[in-house]
Structure 1
């Protein structure tokens, strides 16, 4: 896979597979005469593109320019006159290695790489701070309504800071910018209470979970349907 969706804490695992791919390509992608074959493949790019390819390769190998590597890869991909072998050879040569047999996967992170839990820590069963995908709506409501908030808001009239509130961390994932702005203004001015803040979050979570619960229900109520699928 070119991109692997993972959490931030799983990035080192992806990097491990990248290193394995590099090692494999280095050992088995450099057949005898690779350098000469790569040089012949560069000539097939034409004088102008061949010169550009060499400059981009040098920039990446000597200076580590990711932009140069990306441009070199795009240049190779745009050449319709290359055989598959030459294309793989040039892609590997651009990275200073052999022919690419195993592509190096890249970690694909979301805007919020870690899902916050009910207590502000990373959501995990180990911390007992999770909301299950098909959790009962009443349970979801109870969990969110009892979440801790900014300790500074002792009284309803005390202003708070959304940056110190675990509830707002979940709003960043579930709520649109307008709702987040309303909550920020209301919290910092004490214009809204914590339960007012939690209401839209509960609605957003339940709305996301509803199709999951409905789809699961049809399988729970129809064992024969499940058997027909896995048969």
Structure 2
């Protein structure tokens, strides 16, 4: 089964990215043909004003992937903007995609409303509106059978299928695979202040943080407000740190924390120290692996991935151009 998925290079990856995306990718690559791409064009759809060094951020993102466990020998890693066929297909698909489909996209409307309420940047651009079209091109260029998504991304994939059907109908030619969703568990880990984990809130633990940096953040993290003193019994389910335990600690530690909190036999600092050790078991090997990844190695991985992606994408675009401009379809 061929899997295609991407990630935008907008900054450091944090624990939420690891739990929500990378762990799933690592499992998927074991038994599937996986294509993981750095979605640098997609980053421009919301961060066009931020003057990001996308070239450097893309390489750093690939380092994080490999350090976390993405294996270049099992998965194809490439940069979206290096494969010009993505933009070529994007232009053609834009020509046939009804505006109403994009304007009704719930993700589009929700994000516009959220940014308006926060007084944030203006993303009422053609690029953001047509984000699902570029996403469709990313996926169908490689005949992806499955796309790993969360429940909130289902409308995007349905638009992709509708675009594929419309293309096939208009040009009387079936050359794309209709992508199906691979609904994956996307555990949500809140930031250390109880809000969404985000660099803009300064409430995230990053994959590259040192042990001391993690401790300084955990030490002041929100806990059960009812536990004013160590002798006050608490409710672990109301404690943010307990969510981190459930994500990273073993069953024995989780049980020890739960009982100790309820019976007031441990304090919050002790609980947080155990949490630190559990997180370190995951992040320390990543930091060590990352330290061995030099730029030359990363460039080679990206170049190899780009070439493989280019070979597949160019063959697909040849068929697309025949269908659109020669009104015929070439099928192997």
| TM-score after normalising by structure 2 | 0.42
* Pair 1:4-2:155 in alignment: no
After TM superposition, the structure 1 = structure 2 runs for residues 25-104 of structure 1, keeping only pairs within 5 Å, are 25=165, 28=168, 101-104=176-179
Looking at structure 1, the residues matched to 168 and 220 of structure 2 have their Cα atoms a distance apart, in angstroms, of 57
* Pair 1:110-2:210 in alignment: no
**Displacement after TM superposition at 1:108 (Å):** 3.0
**Displacement after TM superposition at 1:158 (Å):** 0.2
After TM superposition, the structure 1 = structure 2 runs for residues 147-166 of structure 1, keeping only pairs within 5 Å, are 147-166=221-240
**Displacement after TM superposition at 1:24 (Å):** 2.4
Query: Unmatched 5+ residue regions in structure 1?
Result: 33-98
Distance 1:202 1:186, change over 3 A: same
* Pair 1:24-2:98 in alignment: no
Question: Which position in structure 2 is the counterpart of 1:93?
Answer: none
Looking at structure 2, the residues matched to 30 and 197 of structure 1 have their Cα atoms a distance apart, in angstroms, of 61
| Aligned residues between the structures | 160
Secondary structure of the 2:292 match is helix
For the 8 Å contact 1:29–1:101, the answer to whether it is kept is no
Choose between structure 1 and 2 for higher RCO, CA contacts under 8 A separated by at least 6 residues. Answer: 2
Question: Which position in structure 1 is the counterpart of 2:269?
Answer: 195
Question: Which position in structure 1 is the counterpart of 2:193?
Answer: 119
**Displacement after TM superposition at 1:15 (Å):** 2.2
Distance 1:226 1:181, change over 3 A: closer
For the 8 Å contact 1:17–1:105, the answer to whether it is kept is yes
**Displacement after TM superposition at 1:147 (Å):** 1.0
**Displacement after TM superposition at 1:191 (Å):** 1.3
Looking at structure 2, the residues matched to 100 and 163 of structure 1 have their Cα atoms a distance apart, in angstroms, of 51
Distance 1:212 1:203, change over 3 A: same
**Displacement after TM superposition at 1:177 (Å):** 2.5
**Displacement after TM superposition at 1:27 (Å):** 5.6
**Displacement after TM superposition at 1:121 (Å):** 2.3
Looking at structure 2, the residues matched to 3 and 180 of structure 1 have their Cα atoms a distance apart, in angstroms, of 34
**Displacement after TM superposition at 1:179 (Å):** 1.9
For the 8 Å contact 1:150–1:164, the answer to whether it is kept is yes
Looking at structure 2, the residues matched to 160 and 209 of structure 1 have their Cα atoms a distance apart, in angstroms, of 29
After TM superposition, the structure 1 = structure 2 runs for residues 124-143 of structure 1, keeping only pairs within 5 Å, are 124-143=198-217
For the 8 Å contact 1:150–1:162, the answer to whether it is kept is yes
| TM-score after normalising by structure 1 | 0.59
Secondary structure of the 1:132 match is coil
Moved more, 16-25 or 193-202: 16-25
CA-atom RMSD in angstroms:
3.0
After TM superposition, the structure 1 = structure 2 runs for residues 208-223 of structure 1, keeping only pairs within 5 Å, are 208-219=282-293, 222=294
Query: Unmatched 5+ residue regions in structure 2?
Result: 1-143, 304-332
* Pair 1:204-2:278 in alignment: yes
**Displacement after TM superposition at 1:109 (Å):** 2.7
